[in-house]
Amino acid sequence: MENSRLHMRLNCEEHCYLHVGDSFYSGNVKNISLGGALVHFYDSLPGVQVGDNCKVSLNGKLNCEYICEVVRVENSNVALMFIEMDTYTAVVH
């Protein structure tokens, strides 16, 4: 089976917050690329559906915020496609 991904993915365990409307959900980025990320939620899965827009904030080695579109929801994971990065919060450590 051929891999149709446009960007190389890097496995990681980076803490993040998913902002959906007025709600915040704590999760962990399982893998990330230039185009998106896979976020795992241990407690409760956010009430998102494919096509929803949200923001994900990474706190740690990668300290930035992305505006995203939900592209897949399964089990305790949400796959996000990055639409835009908030350049004001992007910090290189």
d(CA 11, CA 69): 20
Q: Residue 92: what pLDDT?
A: 44
Q: Residue 91: what pLDDT?
A: 45
Q: Residue 46: what pLDDT?
A: 76
Q: What is the pTM of this model?
A: 0.81
- How far does the chain reach from its first CA to its final CA, in angstroms? 37
For the chain, which residues make up each domain, given as ranges? 10-86
CATH number of 10-86: 2.40.10.220
Q: Residue 37: what pLDDT?
A: 94
Q: Residue 16: what pLDDT?
A: 92
As averages over each run of 10 residues, the pLDDT of the chain (93 residues) reads: 64 90 91 92 84 87 82 93 70 43
